[in-house]
Amino acid sequence: MYDERYDNHFRRLTASRDTLAAFADFTLDQYRQGLSGRTTGGGQRQSGTQTEDQAFESLKKLVQATDRKLLQPRFYDHPAEKALFYPDKLGGLTQAPKTKRLTRFTAYVQQLEDHPDAGLQAAGAQVKALLVAYTAATAIKNQGSKAVKDTVSALGSDALALADALWDVHCAALYVHRRDPAKAPTYFAYNLLPNPNPARQRAKRAAAVVAG
């Protein structure tokens, strides 16, 4: 049973065009909210949809600000910790090639969140939010809101590209939130989709009533 359904479940969605469009738009909005209204390390306000490069620039600025304000002062008294945060130096993050960004930044976030210092933990939560937003922007970097709707409306071969983009967001969210995987589904409005197995859902509800 544990090896069941290791596939892209977005390719198996069955819904109306309007429902699929709303579902895709919800995911777009979720990653936009991760970038909208935030303040960067330079004090600049972020807003609107960002490209992959813009999202990475926001992430990089936050990491640099965290380095200046929190980490460098700490390294003065705790020099051994520097290698934990920067195994490849600061440039290993800010200049990381695209193929290594998710792995390196996720490890960096984990070091921040696991640290006993409350300030570093808070910084970890901020970096994690921008990391998820960057990953989502990467997965659907060439699709704006209108393009998503057009793709879904076609319901042809291009719809597979949309499904794969959604799957990329799904996998990235699971990876970034792997210690709290219940947060991963918040990027998707599964409640908008028709129930694929109503009999199973009724059985679950009945079992919950009995258990309660």
Q: Residue 36: what pLDDT?
A: 40
Domain ranges of the chain: 10-211
Place of tokens 């590209």: 161
Q: How many CB atoms lie within 10 A of CB 131?
A: 25
Tell me the C-alpha distance between 29 and 148, whole Å. Answer: 12
Q: 136-174 burial string, b = 16+ CB within 10 Å, else e?
A: bbbbbeebeeeebbebbeeeeeebeebbebbbbbbebbe
Residue reference for tokens 């990953």: 135
pTM score of the predicted model = 0.54
Bridge partners, residue 45, by sequence: 39
Residue 25's CB is within 10 A of a number of other CB atoms, namely 16
Short-list 126, 66, 116, CA closest to 90? 66
Q: How many angstroms separate the CA atoms of 76 and 80, rounded?
A: 10
**The two three-digit tokens of residue 206, written as one number:** 């009945």
- State which H helix or E strand residue 198 sits in: helix 198-211
| Predicted confidence (pLDDT) per residue in 37-82, tens digit | 333 333 333 434 457 788 899 899 999 999 999 999 999 999 999 9
Per-residue DSSP letters for 62-115? HHHHHIIIIIHHHHHH-GGGHHHH-TTTTHHHHT--HHHHHHHHHHHHHHHHHS
Radius of gyration (C-alpha) of the chain in whole angstroms: 20
What is the full per-residue pLDDT of the chain (212 aa) written as tens digits? 556 567 777 777 766 666 766 777 777 666 555 434 333 333 333 434 457 788 899 899 999 999 999 999 999 999 999 999 999 999 999 999 988 888 899 899 989 989 999 999 989 888 887 887 777 677 655 454 444 444 443 455 556 666 777 777 778 778 777 788 888 788 788 888 777 555 555 555 655 555 55
User: Residue 128: what pLDDT?
Assistant: 83
Report pLDDT for 43: 36
